Structure 1
Amino acid sequence: MDDNTSEDLPPHSRLSAGCTLCYEGAKLVLFLTGLCHRDCWYCPLSQERKNHDVIYANEHMISSPEEMIQVARRMSALGTGITGGDPFYFPNRLIEYAGALKKEFGSEHHIHLYTGMAPTEKIIKSIIGLIDEIRFHPPGELWSNLKDTPFHDSIQCAKKAGLDVGIEVPSLPNIDDLADYLPIIDFININELEWGDSNADEMRKRGYLLRGDVSNAIQGGWESAKKIASLPKVHWCSSDFKDRVQLRMRLRRIAANTAREFDEITEDGTIIYGVWECDGLRVTLPENLDNALFERYDDRIETGWWILEEIAGRIKGTAYYIERYPDNGIIIEVTPV
């Protein structure tokens, strides 16, 4: 494995069931709340999400289980990863949303959950049949003596309840402290430490530097993790892998289900189409243009980029190409015709 990047996937024997589905792009990402009982200095959440009680299904802000199900259906989700903030901040919400997923898609819909808390036995029992896999995120200062902390008790309760149990933490310098705990759990996921807007000041205070110009990854992350990452049960999840493989596979899946006839799906799973700003309900389009190849709106017409390119010299008004995430996702680039 290259010391500067680690885009290649380690052997599947090191992947939990939840990670396998993520690799295939088949998991809905349910962000259940931005609230958390902890305040980790390295938390990479955006300012729009961190410390805000908001719910997202993939990139869509939602307010109900029904909206979540709609998003899951549009990507043919085979499972869901629940994150935050901390999903246990609102246990009843967690039960409601996880229950809705199981009811809609069946018990085979795999749900994993990520938490920075050490939930009690009572709380663990409340999620039996709803959560298949739980990933604990204990603070770094506890890694060397995890058996003497509430996290150990919670982990034991989760194992007794029949859940797949792991630890998921960032690539901090003391990551090797967790090696002795491997026999007790099913897996360890190590996420490459990443720079974000909300943790930038803390990163600077600690002397961290970006690994490169086009990556949010921090220098030294892989170097800290490569010893423990060579052990069985350990999976290294690089920033490159999440951006170039995991996200791309999920976007492709969504695009295949939601793209219009005239949307071009790129290798990265984004879509490209043309926009003509005009009186979209009245202007005349070229004769014999199939209705499936354009959509009319009050202030514009959306169509294939190749169609817009062909008629650009004969129309009045602003025209441009848009590249964006599928399912009305974020706009990546706007290019004038």
Structure 2
Amino acid sequence: MTLAKGCTLCYQGAKMVLFVTGRCRRSCWYCPLSSERKGKDVVFANERRIEAPEEAVSLAERMSALGTGITGGEPLLCIDRVNEYSKALKDHFGKEHHIHLYTAQAPTKPELEQLAGLVDEIRLHPPRECWDHITDTDYIASAKNAKEMGFDIGIEVPALPGLELLIPALPYLDFLNINELEWGETNAGEMRERGHELADGVHNAVSGARDWADELLNHGKVHWCASSFKDSVQLRERLKRIAENTARPFDEVTDDGTIVYGVLDLHPGTRDAVVARCRTFLTEDEFSDCGDRVETAWWLLEEYRDRIPGKKSVVERYPDGGMVVEVTPL
């Protein structure tokens, strides 16, 4: 099986995720978008809210991104924004910066013409209700046009009962990606109504989802993307790339791509004295004065804990100021 180019880069953690809008005309019961994004016209690069293409370029640089995956919501509802961000990324990194686009619409020929030269790969998401007559839909007509215009074209859908109905579409596609059905905060009620359960207590995968894909998985164009892969491989490799570019000299980078460091909380009345004391046994590369706290290597904080007063803790978080994973008192 040959992976789509976008999937190959995802395996390396080398694709930035560009969420261009939470607006969408569909109301798919299985949509896993968080309440922070669903239905809202907001833009995120990876996990960070942004306002301008220049910010997307900067964040792509910080992870040495080789490509970008554009998603939503429905990106084609703001095609001008898609083009603006794609052009900024291509102009900065070069045409080899690979961009793939997810859409639940069937792009028209004029829309494809707007995307040409900016988007390299299109991933169609036909809704479940049209799978039983997929070859008679606008999605296949759009796929044919996209192929003629030089796009790589495929279908990407979650694992649902009836996946075998998509087999007739395969001759018109470069690939068919099946994502393991995932439980989320906004679709939990719909999942329960349909009798679905979590496969385990670790990942968001729905029990039995892989079985629905069995009939297709031996086909050379079909790729199964497991929920555990996204959590344990794709995200981890992306975090490692960011950490390599942004970790401070005293940050410890873990095998999961998170960073670990020590924090000394400072009280206003003693702040100057404590910082001055830190400078007597720590070099400028070994700590950072952050105003209300000092950050340093966790092992140095442990080593010198008796020489500096104040509340001390060890922090593990995503790199580049990302989400805090754990705080352990020292």
TM-score by length of 1: 0.94
Match of residue 173 from structure 2: 185
User: What is the Cα deviation at residue 313 of structure 1?
Assistant: 2.6
Q: Using the TM superposition, name which of 309-318 and 277-286 deviates more.
A: 277-286
2:221 pairs with 1:233: yes
User: What is the Cα deviation at residue 82 of structure 1?
Assistant: 0.5
Match of residue 7 from structure 1: none
Which structure 1 residue ranges, 5 or more long, are not aligned? Answer: 1-12
User: What is the Cα deviation at residue 293 of structure 1?
Assistant: 1.0
Match of residue 257 from structure 2: 269
Deviation digits for residues 79-121 of structure 1 (CA, Å, limit 9, x no counterpart): 0000011111101101100111111111100000000011211
For the residues of structure 1 that align with 2:327 and 2:67, how far apart are their CA atoms? Answer: 33
Match of residue 203 from structure 1: 191
User: What is the Cα deviation at residue 68 of structure 1?
Assistant: 0.6
Contact in 1 for aligned 2:278/2:308 (Cα 8 Å): no
Amino acid at match of 1:102: K
Q: Using the TM superposition, name which of 79-88 and 278-287 deviates more.
A: 278-287
Identity of aligned residues (%): 55
Counterparts of 1:80-119 in structure 2, within 5 Å, are: 80-119=68-107
Contact in 2 for aligned 1:281/1:298 (Cα 8 Å): no
For the residues of structure 1 that align with 2:153 and 2:238, how far apart are their CA atoms? Answer: 24
Match of residue 162 from structure 1: 150
Match of residue 312 from structure 1: 305
User: What is the Cα deviation at residue 14 of structure 1?
Assistant: 3.0
For the residues of structure 2 that align with 1:58 and 1:240, how far apart are their CA atoms? Answer: 18
Root-mean-square deviation over aligned CA pairs: 1.1
For the residues of structure 2 that align with 1:19 and 1:136, how far apart are their CA atoms? Answer: 15
Where 2:280 maps in the other structure, the secondary structure is coil
User: What is the Cα deviation at residue 167 of structure 1?
Assistant: 0.2
Counterparts of 1:114-125 in structure 2, within 5 Å, are: 114-125=102-113
Match of residue 290 from structure 2: 297
Match of residue 42 from structure 1: 30
User: What is the Cα deviation at residue 256 of structure 1?
Assistant: 0.3
Q: Using the TM superposition, name which of 148-157 and 277-286 deviates more.
A: 277-286
Where 1:322 maps in the other structure, the secondary structure is strand
For the residues of structure 2 that align with 1:135 and 1:46, how far apart are their CA atoms? Answer: 21
Counterparts of 1:55-70 in structure 2, within 5 Å, are: 55-70=43-58
State how many pairs are aligned: 325
User: What is the Cα deviation at residue 316 of structure 1?
Assistant: 2.2
TM-score by length of 2: 0.96
Contact in 1 for aligned 2:134/2:168 (Cα 8 Å): no
Where 1:251 maps in the other structure, the secondary structure is helix
Instruction: Choose from 212, 223, 234 the match for 1:246.
Output: 234
For the residues of structure 2 that align with 1:92 and 1:207, how far apart are their CA atoms? Answer: 40
For the residues of structure 1 that align with 2:143 and 2:232, how far apart are their CA atoms? Answer: 32
Q: Using the TM superposition, name which of 280-289 and 243-252 deviates more.
A: 280-289
Amino acid at match of 1:211: A
Amino acid at match of 2:101: L
Which structure 2 residue ranges, 5 or more long, are not aligned? Answer: none
For the residues of structure 2 that align with 1:226 and 1:309, how far apart are their CA atoms? Answer: 52
User: What is the Cα deviation at residue 282 of structure 1?
Assistant: 4.4
Q: Using the TM superposition, name which of 284-293 and 144-153 deviates more.
A: 284-293
For the residues of structure 1 that align with 2:272 and 2:113, how far apart are their CA atoms? Answer: 56
Match of residue 328 from structure 2: 335
Where 1:301 maps in the other structure, the secondary structure is strand
Deviation digits for residues 190-237 of structure 1 (CA, Å, limit 9, x no counterpart): 000000000000000000000001111000111111221111110000
Match of residue 115 from structure 2: 127
User: What is the Cα deviation at residue 314 of structure 1?
Assistant: 3.0
Contact in 2 for aligned 1:186/1:233 (Cα 8 Å): yes
Where 1:309 maps in the other structure, the secondary structure is helix
User: What is the Cα deviation at residue 286 of structure 1?
Assistant: 5.6
Contact in 1 for aligned 2:135/2:168 (Cα 8 Å): no
